[in-house]
Amino acid sequence: MPEFTPESVVSALRWRYATKHFQADRKIPAETWAALEETLVLTPSSFGLQPWKFLVIENPDVRAALREKSWGQGQVTDASHLVVFATRTDVSQEDIDNWVSKLSEVQSTPAEALAPMKGMIEGFVGSMPVEARQAWNTRQVYIALGQFMTAAALMGVDTCPLEGLDPSAYDEILGLKESGYATAVACAVGYRSESDHTAARPKARFDAGQLIEKIS
């Protein structure tokens, strides 16, 4: 597997910023987009349950409607791609069964060999009230968001994470109501416009000494 120098990875993350203005006429090449979708699928999650759906919004009318429910932010309509990260609203017995059969199939492991692991997941999930399960799922969705933005930066693709949106209105527009999934966050993806002056602003972070504490 290819390895990148630590410096090259960090420099891609320094280059990344929350893009405010995208080039509306520049599309991500199909091969790059396919790779970005694969990074979504490959996201790790607790117990491997993958409690999410990723909606890629291609329809311009739908994007215009979503923009109205996102404080009018232009990234929603102007970026090459828009992904809505939806979270499972629960973890049902069926979710667990589906996951354990997938695992059994992919790893050619008989179901009985996976029974102890399955019991552990059931015990853990059963100990949580349903609102806690959705919150847990949503945290997993943010791993996907982190992995996606990082992978995009490494490919030279810009992103803007979007929390400033009305999740319930998104659910309505996207037909997610009663689907068992709910909008958690969105991300616009594409290429920064030269007119985006925020790109040139120095990145602001607290000092490493404030954020990282060594317990030695």
Which listed residue (74, 90, 142, 196) binds its own copies by CB under 8 A?
142
Q: Does the footprint of its own copies cover residue 191 (CB under 8 A)?
A: no
CB neighbours (10 Å) of residue 130? 11
- Minimum distance, C-beta of residue 192 to its own copies, in the bound complex (Å): 12
Q: Does the footprint of its own copies cover residue 23 (CB under 8 A)?
A: no
Q: What does the alpha-carbon distance between residue 145 and residue 187 come to, in Å, rounded to a whole number? A: 8
Q: Does the footprint of its own copies cover residue 151 (CB under 8 A)?
A: yes
Which listed residue (19, 20, 23, 52) binds its own copies by CB under 8 A?
52
Which listed residue (74, 92, 117, 139) binds its own copies by CB under 8 A?
139
Q: Does the footprint of its own copies cover residue 21 (CB under 8 A)?
A: no
The footprint of its own copies on residues 92-121 (CB under 8 A) is 98, 102-103, 106-107
Helix, strand, or coil (residue 91): coil
User: Both tokens of residue 49?
Assistant: 């349950």
The CA radius of gyration of the chain, in Å to the nearest whole number, is 19
Q: What does the alpha-carbon distance between residue 53 and residue 180 come to, in Å, rounded to a whole number? A: 10
Which listed residue (79, 91, 125, 149) binds its own copies by CB under 8 A?
149
Burial tier of 12 (Cβ tally within 10 Å: 0-12, 13-18, 19+): middle
Q: Does the footprint of its own copies cover residue 73 (CB under 8 A)?
A: no
Which listed residue (24, 117, 128, 143) binds its own copies by CB under 8 A?
143
Applying CB under 8 A, the site for its own copies has a residue count of 80
**What is the edge-to-edge ordering of all strands in the sheet holding 181-190?**
81-88, 181-190, 158-162
Which listed residue (27, 92, 147, 166) binds its own copies by CB under 8 A?
147
Conformation bin of residue 161: beta by default, left when phi > 0, alpha when psi is -120 to 50: beta
Helix, strand, or coil (residue 110): coil
Contact 86, 182 (CB under 8 A): yes
Which listed residue (19, 20, 21, 55) binds its own copies by CB under 8 A?
55
- Minimum distance, C-beta of residue 172 to its own copies, in the bound complex (Å): 13
- Minimum distance, C-beta of residue 24 to its own copies, in the bound complex (Å): 18
Q: Which is nearer to its own copies, 112 or 211 (CB)?
A: 211
User: Both tokens of residue 29?
Assistant: 């090449």
